[in-house]
Structure 1
């Protein structure tokens, strides 16, 4: 089966591009927008509509495989690629990617994905969003050619022998961190609430007092609303480096604060994502590793999740090798080609580090469905409900895709047995 044509269409994502540097500098919210001048290169306003490009591969038999080029909510910071402009990058795809795909035989996802992921222009790789979308489309195309699920293609090509099972789903509240928690509890979401704690003054508190109050409310709300006493979700909160800012990067003080937060969260297990942003990759893994050592010495069980400055497959391998985190967010759009997500999850699993198949609220339903299949195939430890910040839509997309894939694979296995 060959690819005979590539068709592109411009679209929106499930959320927005935000200038995180401006927000950290206390940009004032004005309704759903922010007041002030953007700080990060490429932004025309602090918050602007997220953009995507759908890559549609037309196959010989008329089937259409789709992948979406999309980027995270916070581009241009933490070592990530700059803001993604659909209009600008459609031209790049037409000139440099489409000609490499038309006429290609769909024998191996892995080989073609690696080839596209390594395309260079003037010595530089293509924008991560392009590599992300193009390789999604390739995986979908190979699955359609072989008439199996994308998860089964991955299992076959990467020689994965573990049984497929449901992956715990992590939902995110966005700024509506109270009402959206109620939705999560009603649907018994496995991991919650993310929380979007991206500002010291308004959301964390200068000594962490706002987050303390929120976690106290969160614990009580779960106990109050749950219908089943066995429902005991993991509390996973992304603080975007604000704890480091509030406590002047003093690791002992940060550890003591995490112990305080852990006591408030009890009996629910606690994970803190990106407790600090140290400005570059080396400082980041070194400080996270040191913090984990201090937590262990103090018998604090709170788990540390790496995100910032851990963007590429090489970054992830480094953080795993250095034991810099209990869990790694494999932030799918940042890695470019999706084969890098697969290999990163497998590497984390091999080395006893939690593999969080993450991503962004600022993706699309296509990228969410495809990365869900990756999470199932590789046995990730958790998978992000995406896109959007409304909880219900992203949770529905990921949960239902997961259940569909598992049902289809179970049917095929039963047919082989009989």
Structure 2
């Protein structure tokens, strides 16, 4: 690699102070009233930022990656708010010093060097490791004249998926119109819902039940023949506030039974039912809830999100059987290879891997993640970036289809020797 450059750019959504929102900050149009409470924030909702990384190879070709951080940065054990102007010089300094002169072909070796770098005694911000590793993956694919899927499969010894991984659409606050778009397009997993406050869920959880009942009816009305989506709603720990953990087991299982019935006949998974303020406490509460639902015969899957950020966190949740599904939040794991390793850690367990991320990413980072999903055959992957649904779904679905078509072409040769 001949050079490494970085420049501040914009991301696909916004940074939100999750703690301020969960504490009751009121929406004011698209923004929120009140003061932020999470360090680094100037306001509760502020424009997302990213850093574009450009690796120039020895032959003059260019590889790209985008450093991005999750919408709810600085919360739930995550790295602090990512400021592009602050971190771009780190890429052109510490990172460039370590990578310039190395072979672009060696993705995993280069990614491990990146993962080991420090500044002022601290590991690089997860967003830096995320973006630079995307560029390293792109560089290896260019140098090898191969797909990113195949580079990852070679690096981690996987057999890639032969069909697109099911895409999970996220609706944002426009949870009815966007859900209808998803149903019309036959999206496999939907709608996320953004139920991030008691107001949206209902003081007794009743608004979530009403929404799922509406969604199941619209799925029957709008879905094509044979369409069997999986419902997935994210409640951002709010049910823990509604039912006050430690909860009454009968009360919470009865509520989840109501959710299941409202979603019927479609399967349901609920992400982040509570937020207990620490990894150990979260794992204990999630495992208790999962056991309670199993004992009561309530067929609703729960998804780990809060306090499941790093590779070590994913291992801990999986080892404790604390969730049916773990979200692998790609920016929070740092290097993109770590996301691949996290998906693979779920193999052979009863926990499925959801390769997620954030609406606050970019097209470049999303396209890289599509290859991680294919290479590891994840259970589902997030439509990103943005909250408009259509754009993120198009990015992820089309990137996977292109990669699969390119892989198929290599095994289909015509009689005159052309692909």
Query: TM-score over 0.5 for the alignment?
Result: yes
Aligned residue in 2 for 1:230? 226
Conserved 8 A contact 2:9-2:52: yes
| In 1, Cα distance between equivalents of 2:414 and 2:375 | 19
Q: Which segments of 5 or more consecutive residues in structure 2 lack a partner in the other structure?
A: none
Size of the aligned set, in residue pairs, is 414
Alpha-carbon distance between aligned partners in 2 of 1:416 and 1:8, rounded to the nearest angstrom: 43
CA contact (8 A) 2:159 2:376 kept: no
Offset, 1:352 = 3.2
Please give the secondary structure, in 1, of the residue aligned with 2:2: strand
SS at match of 1:278: coil
Match for 1:263 among 261, 264, 267? 261
Name the SS of the counterpart of 1:263 in structure 2.
Answer: helix
Pick one of 214, 217, 222 that aligns with 2:211. 214
Which of 323, 340, 346 is matched with 2:321 structurally? Answer: 323
2:153 to 155, 166, 170: 155
Note if contact 1:311-1:331 (Cα within 8 Å) is conserved in structure 2: yes
2:66 aligns with 68
Distance 2:38 2:341 in 1: 31
Taking the aligned partners of 2:238 and 2:252, their CA distance within structure 1 comes to 11
- Structure 2: distance between partners of 1:219 and 1:31: 29
Aligned to 1:296: 294
Rounded to whole Å, the distance in 1 between the matches of 2:239 and 2:65 is 37
Q: Secondary structure at the match of 2:225?
A: coil
CA displacement at 1:305 relative to structure 2: 0.4
Is the 2:6–2:89 contact (alpha carbons within 8 Å) kept by the matching residues of 1? Answer: no
Alignment of 1:316-355 (within 5 A): 316-355=314-353
Q: Give the counterpart of 2:129 among 128, 131, 136.
A: 131
What is the distance in 1 between the residues matched to 2:204 and 2:10? 38
CA contact (8 A) 1:164 1:377 kept: no
5 Å-filtered alignment, 1:17-416, equals 17-161=15-159, 163-200=161-198, 202-226=199-223, 228-249=224-245, 250=247, 252=249, 253-415=251-413
Q: State the secondary structure of the residue aligned to 1:49.
A: strand
In 2, Cα distance between the equivalents of 1:163 and 1:90? 35
* C-alpha displacement of 1:89: 0.5
Distance 1:212 1:184 in 2: 19
- Contact 2:343 2:355 (8 Å CA) reproduced: yes
Partner of 1:294: helix, strand, or coil? helix
The answer to whether the Cα contact below 8 Å between 1:244 and 1:254 also exists between their aligned partners in 2 is no
SS at match of 1:192: strand
Per-residue CA deviations over 1:23-44 (Å, capped at 9, x if unaligned) read: 1111111111111000100000
The verdict on how the C-alpha distance between 1:251 and 1:150 changes in structure 2, with shifts beyond 3 A counting, is farther
Q: TM-score, normalised by structure 2?
A: 0.97
Which shifted more, 349-358 or 290-299? 349-358
Residues 1:7 and 2:15 are matched in the alignment:
no
Q: Deviations over 1:176-227 (max 9, x none)?
A: 1011111101110000000000000x2011110111111111111111222x
Match of 2:47, SS state, is: strand
Deviation at 1:163, TM superposition (A): 4.7
CA distance in 2, matches of 1:374, 1:162: 9
Q: Which runs of 5+ in 1 are unaligned?
A: none
Post-superposition offset of 1:111: 1.1
Distance 1:416 1:150 in 2: 25
Deviation, structure 1 residue 251: 5.1
Deviation at 1:13, TM superposition (A): 0.7
